[in-house]
Amino acid sequence: MKREKKTLGLVAAAFFLAAGACTEPALAYFTTHVSAAGGHELELDFTTTVPKEEVSQWVKYLEIENTGNEDCYVRVKAFAGEGIGLQWTADGNWSKGPEDYWYLRTPLSPGSTAGGISVKIDKGAAKDDFNVIVVQECAPVSYGADGKPLGFEETDWSQRAEVKTDSAGAENRGDEG
C-alpha cells in the first residue's frame, strides 16, 4: 500500500514537471516609448493710442501716438453739428474707408506717431459756438498664417473683448473656447 502511494506520488511529480516544461513562456512583447514636451509664455498687452490736436486757421491738425506695446492700426473720424462743413486732407498713409473713417494704411508701432492728416472746418452760417469732435480708434494688428501682419482692410473693427467680471472679488477668466 505504501509502495503504491509512493509510485503515485512519483507519477504526479513527473506530470507536474512535464506540464511545467510544456507550458508556454509568459507572454511579453517588445515595446518602447519616448516623450518630449515644451512651451512658450504668452505676453499680451493692451493697445492704447493718444490723439493730439492742433487748431490753426480753422484747421485741426491731427496726430495719433501709439503708447502701448503692440503694433496697431488706427482710424479717425470727426463729428460736427448741422450746417458745419468738414473737409479732410491726408497724405498717402491714409485712406478713406467704411463708416466715414480715415484709416492708417500701415501698422503704427509702439512709441510712434502718425500725422499727415487734418480736417478743415467750414462754419458756414453758424454764429453760435459749436463743437467739432474727433474720434480715433485703434485695433491690434492681426497676423496671418505666414506671420505677416494683415492689411488695414482686413482688420476686424467689430472685435470686442469678452470681459467677465466678478463683483465678489474672485477672479473670473471668461469662457472657454
Partner 1 sequence: MKRKKNRNRTFLLFAASAVLLMMSTVGSTRAALTYRSENYEMKFDVSSIGVTLLENGTAVSRRDYVDDQWQEESGALLTNLLEEGESLMPGRSYEERLSVQNSGSIDSYVRVTLYRGWTKDGKSMDTELSPKLIGLDLSSGDWIEDVSAATSERTVLYYRNILKSGQETPPLCTALRIDPAVARKVSETHTETAEGTVVSTRFAYDGFQFQVKAEVDAVQTHNAEEAIKSAWGVDAEIAEDGTLRLTSQGQ
Binding residues among 4-23 for partner 1 as defined by CB under 8 A: 4, 7-8, 10-11, 14-15, 17-18, 21-22
Establish if 40 lies at the interface with partner 1 (CB under 8 A). yes
Q: Is residue 162 near partner 1 by the rule CB under 8 A?
A: yes
Tell which residue, 43, 93, 31, has the closest CA to residue 63.
Answer: 93
What angle (nearest 5°) sits at the alpha carbon of residue 161, between those of residues 115 and 51? 20
Closest distance of CB 174 from partner 1, Å = 4
Q: Which is nearer to partner 1, 15 or 79 (CB)?
A: 15
Assess 37 for contact with partner 1 (CB under 8 A).
yes
Q: Select 30 or 92, whichever has its Cβ closest to partner 1.
A: 30
Show the cell assigned to 126: 453758424
Please pick, from the candidates 42, 56, 92, 125, the single residue that binds partner 1 as defined by CB under 8 A.
Answer: 42
Counting Cβ atoms within 10 Å, is residue 48 exposed (0-12), middle (13-18) or buried (19+)?
Answer: middle
Residue among 116, 155, 131 at smallest CA distance from 78 = 131
Write each residue from 74 to 113 as x if it is in contact with partner 1 (CB under 8 A), else as -, in one continuous string: ----------------------------------------
One DSSP character per residue, 70-85 reads S-EEEEEEEEE-TT-E
CA distance 138 to 109: 12
| C-alpha dist (Å) from residue 40 to 8, 37, 43, 129, 154 | 74, 11, 10, 56, 27
Rounded least distance, CB 68 to partner 1, Å = 12
Q: Which residues bind partner 1 (CB under 8 A)?
A: 4, 7-8, 10-11, 14-15, 17-18, 21-22, 27, 29-46, 140, 142-147, 159-177
